[in-house]
C-alpha cells in the first residue's frame, strides 16, 4: 500500500461512520433537586424545588430525580420529600401538564432509597398514591467508598439490594442500580473497570430495571470512558439499560460525555450549574450527619456535568434531546439566584453558538470600504487570484 492509498482509506468525514454506535437521539435526565441540592449547606425552599421540578418538565425533561427518601435527620435537605411527591401527583399539576402539551404518563419520577428503610417508605407512599415511579440504590466497586455511603460491607449490601429490588418490583416500581467508583475512588484510589462490568451484571441479575454508571469524583478520562462503555455494550448491548453519570472536578467531563456518545450511550444525567456532590454535613446554622467528613478539599470543584452546557454540546452536534434549550439557559440563570452564587455553566453566560452571529458587535463601514476598493459583496480573495488554492508540492497529501 502506497502512502497516498493509505490517506484515502483513512479519510472519513461522516462522524457517524467513524462511530457507528453513536446515537442520533438521547435522553438527558435531570437530578438537580436531589443530587444537586444535597450538597448545598442551606435549605432550598420547597417552593423553589416545586418551581424547578415543574419548569424542568415543561422544558422537556422526562426523567427527573425528585428527592431522597432516607432519614431526614441525616439529610434534612429532603425533609419535604412527601410534599414534593404529593404536588407532582396532584390533579392540579397533571392539568398543568395537559395545558402545556406534556403527556404526564411520559414522566418518570425517581427517589433515592439507599437503604431498605427507604424502600419501605417508598412502598408506603406508593400505597397512598404519591409514590415515585423509580427507586435507586447504589454500590461502589471500592468498598471503603461504599461503606462511607451506606455503612455496610459490599456482600451484606448486595443481599439487602436483592431483597429491596424484589420489594420494589412487587410494588410496581422500577429499580435503578447504581455502580460507582468505576474509574477511581476518592477514598481508595484506582479501581478496575472489569469489576464495574461484573457489578452491572449483578444488578440486572437481581432484577434492576436499569443501571446508572457513575463517576462520583471526576476520576474518568475520555479514553477510559470509551473503553468502559464499549465493554458494557459488548456484553449488555441494549443502550436503554445504561445511564452515564459524570462528575466534574477537572473541567474535562464534556470529553467524557463525548466518549460515552461515541461508545453508544444514549442516557445521561446532569444538574443545573453543575451542582451536586457528597451530601452536606452542615445545613443553615446546624451541623448534620450527612455521610460524614467531606472527601474533597474545595467545594468549588465538586459537582456534576452542567445541564445547560451538556444540552448545548448535544444540540450543536445535531443530536435530538427533546429540551427547549433556550428555556433551560434561562432557568440556569434563575438557579444562580436561588443558590446565591455563580455556578459552573458557561452556556448560561455565553449562550448558544448562533448561526446568524452577533451582528450588534459589527463595526460600521465594511460595505462602503469594499465598494471603495472595487470589491464585490462577499468577495474573499483578490479577483486576480485563481478560484482554488494550489498547494506547494511539499504540502500535498500523498
Residues of the chain with pLDDT under 70: 1-10, 398
CB 77 within 8 A of CB 38: yes
Confidence at residue 7, expressed as pLDDT on a 0 to 100 scale: 47
Kindly tell me the burial class for residue 70, based on how many C-beta atoms sit within 10 Å of its own C-beta (0-12, 13-18, 19 or more): buried
Which candidate, 182, 191, 332, places its Cα nearest to that of 259? 182
In eight-state DSSP terms, residue 32 is I
All cell numbers assigned to 193? 473497570
Q: 137 has which bridge partners?
A: 177
What's the CA angle centered on 141, arms 160 and 108, to 5 degrees?
60
Positive or negative: CA dihedral 32, 38, 44, 46: positive
pLDDT in tens, 262-288: 999 999 999 999 999 889 999 999 999
Count the neighbouring beta carbons within 10 Å of the beta carbon of residue 311. Answer: 27
Confidence at residue 2, expressed as pLDDT on a 0 to 100 scale: 45
Q: Which helix (H) or strand (E) holds 184?
A: none
Angle, nearest 10°, between helix axes 46-58 and 325-339?
Answer: 170
**Distant-in-sequence, close-in-space partners of 77: CB < 8 Å, separation ≥ 6:** 37, 38, 40, 43, 44, 68, 279, 280, 283
Confidence at residue 10, expressed as pLDDT on a 0 to 100 scale: 58
Which candidate, 127, 102, 349, places its Cα nearest to that of 93? 102
Kindly tell me the burial class for residue 388, based on how many C-beta atoms sit within 10 Å of its own C-beta (0-12, 13-18, 19 or more): exposed
In sequence order, what DSSP letters do the residues of 269-337 get, joined into one string?
Answer: EEBGGG---SPPSEETTEE--TTSS-S-S-GGG--B-BHHHHHHHHHHTT-B----HHHHHHHHHHHHH
pLDDT in tens, 357-389: 888 889 999 999 999 999 999 999 999 999 999
Residue 260 region, left (φ>0) first, then alpha (ψ -120 to 50), else beta? alpha
Confidence at residue 3, expressed as pLDDT on a 0 to 100 scale: 47
Positive or negative: CA dihedral 66, 162, 295, 288: positive
Kindly tell me the burial class for residue 207, based on how many C-beta atoms sit within 10 Å of its own C-beta (0-12, 13-18, 19 or more): middle
C-beta contacts of 282-285 below 8 A and 24+ residues apart:
282/41, 283/41, 283/42, 283/43, 283/76, 283/77, 284/41, 284/42, 284/43
Amino acid at each position: 500500500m502506497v502512502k497516498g492509498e493509505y490517506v484515502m482509506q483513512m479519510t472519513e468525514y461522516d462522524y457517524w461512520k467513524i462511530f457507528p454506535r453513536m446515537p442520533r437521539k438521547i435522553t438527558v435526565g435531570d437530578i438537580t433537586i436531589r443530587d444537586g441540592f444535597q450538597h448545598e449547606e442551606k435549605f432550598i425552599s420547597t417552593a423553589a424545588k416545586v418551581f424547578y421540578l415543574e419548569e424542568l418538565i415543561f422544558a422537556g425533561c422526562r426523567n427527573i430525580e425528585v428527592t431522597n427518601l432516607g432519614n431526614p435527620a441525616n439529610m434534612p435537605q429532603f425533609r419535604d420529600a412527601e410534599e414534593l411527591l404529593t404536588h407532582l401527583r396532584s390533579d392540579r399539576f397533571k392539568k398543568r401538564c395537559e395545558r402545556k402539551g406534556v403527556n404526564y404518563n411520559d414522566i418518570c419520577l425517581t427517589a433515592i432509597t439507599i437503604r431498605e428503610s427507604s424502600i419501605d417508605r417508598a412502598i408506603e407512599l406508593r400505597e397512598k398514591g404519591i409514590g415515585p415511579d423509580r427507586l435507586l440504590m447504589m454500590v461502589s466497586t471500592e468498598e471503603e467508598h461504599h461503606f462511607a455511603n451506606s455503612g455496610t460491607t459490599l456482600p451484606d449490601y448486595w443481599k439487602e439490594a436483592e431483597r429491596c429490588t424484589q420489594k420494589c418490583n412487587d410494588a410496581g416500581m422500577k429499580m435503578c442500580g447504581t455502580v460507582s467508583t468505576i474509574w477511581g475512588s476518592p477514598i481508595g484510589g484506582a479501581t478496575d473497570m472489569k469489576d464495574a462490568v461484573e457489578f452491572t451484571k449483578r444488578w440486572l441479575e437481581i432484577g434492576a430495571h436499569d443501571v446508572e454508571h457513575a463517576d462520583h469524583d471526576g476520576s474518568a478520562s475520555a479514553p477510559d470512558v470509551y473503553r468502559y462503555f464499549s465493554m458494557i455494550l459488548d456484553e449488555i448491548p441494549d443502550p436503554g439499560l445504561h445511564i452515564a453519570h459524570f462528575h466534574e472536578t477537572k473541567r474535562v467531563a464534556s470529553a467524557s460525555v463525548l466518549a460515552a456518545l461515541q461508545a453508544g450511550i444514549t442516557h445521561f444525567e446532569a444538574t443545573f450549574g453543575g451542582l451536586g456532590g457528597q451530601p452536606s454535613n452542615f445545613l443553615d446554622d446546624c451541623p448534620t450527619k450527612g455521610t460524614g467528613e467531606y472527601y474533597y478539599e474545595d467545594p468549588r470543584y465538586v459537582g456534576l456535568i452542567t445541564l445547560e452546557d451538556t444540552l448545548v454540546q448535544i444540540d450543536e452536534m445535531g443530536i435530538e434531546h427533546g429540551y427547549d434549550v433556550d428555556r433551560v439557559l434561562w432557568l440556569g440563570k434563575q438557579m444562580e439566584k436561588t443558590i446565591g452564587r455563580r455556578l459552573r455553566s458557561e452556556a448560561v453566560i455565553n449562550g448558544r453558538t448562533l448561526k446568524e452571529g452577533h451582528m450588534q458587535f459589527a463595526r460600521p463601514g465594511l460595505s462602503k470600504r469594499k465598494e471603495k476598493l472595487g470589491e464585490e459583496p462577499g468577495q474573499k480573495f483578490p479577483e486576480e487570484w485563481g478560484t482554488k488554492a494550489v498547494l506547494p508540492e511539499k504540502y500535498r497529501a500523498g
